[in-house]
Structure 1
Amino acid sequence: MEPDLVTDKRLQGVLDELVRREPLFHRPEFGTTRADFEAMTAPDFWETGASGRRYSRAHVLEVFEERYKKPPVEDWETSDFHCPELAADLYLLTYILVLDGRRTRRATIWQRASDGWKILYHQGTVVQEAEE
């Protein structure tokens, strides 16, 4: 029933670069300020959260700007990365994220631009809620 998700060998370098950037906005080495988050997102970026709600770029930027005023201590791990090319310089990265005990499937559409990687869209889908 599960798809056979194997990244094409020619995309291994892209996969390696994008794995280092996920989970989104949880990698302080790529920045923790609003300007950093603006630089990594396309102007029309939006996201569908694990709740199913849609969030604008402005909302996401506000949330993470506020969060990094006092950086949280998070317990997370990622696995099962897969990266097909959708079009020239456009990639879909999927993976599993376990964050504070909650397991979600993640999907991010990335674009390689002249000024670096840009996030066009992101979605999280809950697979297993954290145990209380």
Structure 2
Amino acid sequence: MEPKLTTESRLLPILEQLQQREPIFHHPEFGTARADFEAMTELDFWEVGASGSRYSREYVLDVLEERYRQPFEDDWQTSDFHCREIAADNYLLTYTLQQGRRKTRRATLWRHTVQGWKIVYHQGTVVAD
């Protein structure tokens, strides 16, 4: 039933770079301040959460700013990465995220710019048991 997802060999270096950035906003080495998260996202960034709710860039930035004010436990595992070029310098990265007993499929649209990698869009979908 599931598709066989294979990343083209020419995209493997990009896949490797993007894997290191996922899940988005969970890598302190890329920054934990609002300015860092602003630099990671396009101005028109938005996301659809696992709940199905849509979230604006400003809302996401507010939540991240609050989250990183205090130390917190961040336990997760990723797998099943796949990368596809959808337009020049624009890539769809998909993967599975396991957080405790919660399993989600994730999709992030990434854009490579002169400033570095920028997140255009993100979505998470809960995997039903």
Normalising to structure 2: TM-score of the pair? 0.98
Separation in structure 2 between the aligned mates of residue 63 and residue 100 of structure 1, nearest angstrom: 21
Q: Where does residue 115 of structure 2 map in the other structure?
A: 115
Aligned positions of 1:75-114 closer than 5 A: 75-114=75-114
Separation in structure 1 between the aligned mates of residue 98 and residue 31 of structure 2, nearest angstrom: 22
Tell me which amino acid in the other structure corresponds to 1:4.
K
Separation in structure 2 between the aligned mates of residue 101 and residue 45 of structure 1, nearest angstrom: 28
Question: 1:113: Cα distance to partner?
Answer: 0.2
Tell me which amino acid in the other structure corresponds to 2:48.
T
Query: Gaps (5+ residues) in structure 2?
Result: none
Question: 1:74: Cα distance to partner?
Answer: 1.6
SS in 1 for 2:72: coil
Q: Once the two structures are superposed, what CA deviation does each residue of 1:66-116 show, in whole Å capped at 9, x if it has no partner?
A: 000013112100000000000110000000001132100000000000000
SS in 1 for 2:127: strand
Q: Where does residue 22 of structure 1 map in the other structure?
A: 22
1:33 to 2:29 alignment: no
SS in 1 for 2:77: strand
Contact 1:7 1:83 in 2 (8 A): yes
Separation in structure 1 between the aligned mates of residue 62 and residue 5 of structure 2, nearest angstrom: 34
Contact 1:74 1:100 in 2 (8 A): no
Separation in structure 1 between the aligned mates of residue 40 and residue 15 of structure 2, nearest angstrom: 17
* Identity among equivalent pairs (%): 64
Aligned residues: 129
Query: Gaps (5+ residues) in structure 1?
Result: none
Contact 1:89 1:113 in 2 (8 A): yes
Q: Where does residue 4 of structure 1 map in the other structure?
A: 4
Separation in structure 2 between the aligned mates of residue 74 and residue 36 of structure 1, nearest angstrom: 19
SS in 2 for 1:83: strand
Contact 1:102 1:128 in 2 (8 A): no
Normalising to structure 1: TM-score of the pair? 0.95
